[in-house]
Amino acid sequence: MIKINLLPEELRPVKKSILPYFLSVVVVILGFLILATIFLHYQSTIISLRAQLSSLQKEYNSPTKLKNDEGEIITLSSIVNEFRKLDRKRQELEKRVQVIREILSDRIIWSYNLYLLSKLTPDNIWYDRIRVTWQTFREKVIKIDPKTKKPILDPRTKEPQTEQKTIKRPILEITGYVVSGEQGERQISPLIENTTNPSIAPDFVSQFSLMRPRIEDTEYNGFSVRKFTLEYLIETGEKND
C-alpha cells in the first residue's frame, strides 16, 4: 500500500541525522585520550624523578670509606655539611681580612710622625698649629663597572677608560714662625728640605708630600719673625704601614 503525505511542506516532519552526535562523541573521546596520555607521561616522569631523588638521597646518606678522629665512619652528607661550615668560615675570614686591610691601608701613626717632625725641625722654628684638614681635588680616575666592579675598557684601544672626579683628600697643615738663627737668617728652606728629601727622612716623605708653602714676614711681640704655613698631602695606602 502506498502512503502519500498530503501535509504542506512546512508541516512535514524533518528527518534528523545522527552524524553530528557521533562526531561530538568522537571528539570527546579523543580529548579524553589525549589528556590521559599527557597525564600518564607526566606521572611517569614524576615517578622517574622521585626514583632518582631517592637514589641520590641514599647515596648522600651512604657511608664512605673514610673515618673521623673518633673512628666513626663518615657519610657523604656529613662531608657536605662540613664543607658548608668551612666555606662559611672562609667567607667570614675573608671579610675580616678585608676590613683589616682597609684599616691598615689608611693608618697613620701620628705619634711616630710627630716625633719625626720634631727631629726634622731646626732650632729657630716653633709651631703655632698642627692640624689635619680636607681639601677637594679634581683627579683622573679609572671608570669602574658597578656590576662587575672591574675597569671599563675602551673598545678600540682595550685600555681602561678614565674620567674626572671630585675627591676629598686629607691635608697635614703646619703653621709656625721662624726667628733669626745663628747666621741671622729667618729661612724656612731647611725645614722644607728636611721634610721633602727622601734621603733625610724616607718614612716622613713616603707619607707626606709638600704641596705649597705660604710665607710672610711679620712681627710677634715686637720681634721680626717669618710666619709660614706648610701643607702636606697625606698619602694613604699600604706603604704607610
58-68 pLDDT per residue, tens: 776 676 666 66
pLDDT of residue 3: 63
Q: pLDDT means per 10 residues in the chain (241 residues)?
A: 61 63 80 85 84 75 64 68 82 77 66 91 91 88 82 85 86 91 76 93 91 87 88 70 36
Largest Cα–Cα distance of the chain, in whole Å?
161
pLDDT of residue 184: 57
SS3 label, residue 193: helix
SS3 label, residue 238: helix
pLDDT of residue 97: 76
pLDDT of residue 154: 84
pLDDT of residue 64: 64
Can you say whether the dihedral through the CA atoms of 111, 117, 122, 125 is positive or negative?
Answer: negative
C-alpha cell at position 193: 728640605
In angstroms, how far is CA 176 from the centroid of its own chain?
43
pTM above 0.75, yes or no: no
User: Phi/psi class of residue 240: alpha, beta or left (left: φ > 0; alpha: ψ in -120 to 50)?
Assistant: alpha
Q: Above pLDDT 70, what percent of the chain?
A: 76
> Using CA atoms in the order 127, 133, 136, 140, what is the torsion angle rounded to 10 degrees?
80
Calpha distance 191→194 (Å, rounded): 5
pLDDT of residue 241: 36
Among all chains, which residue has been given the C-alpha cell 714662625?
A: 177
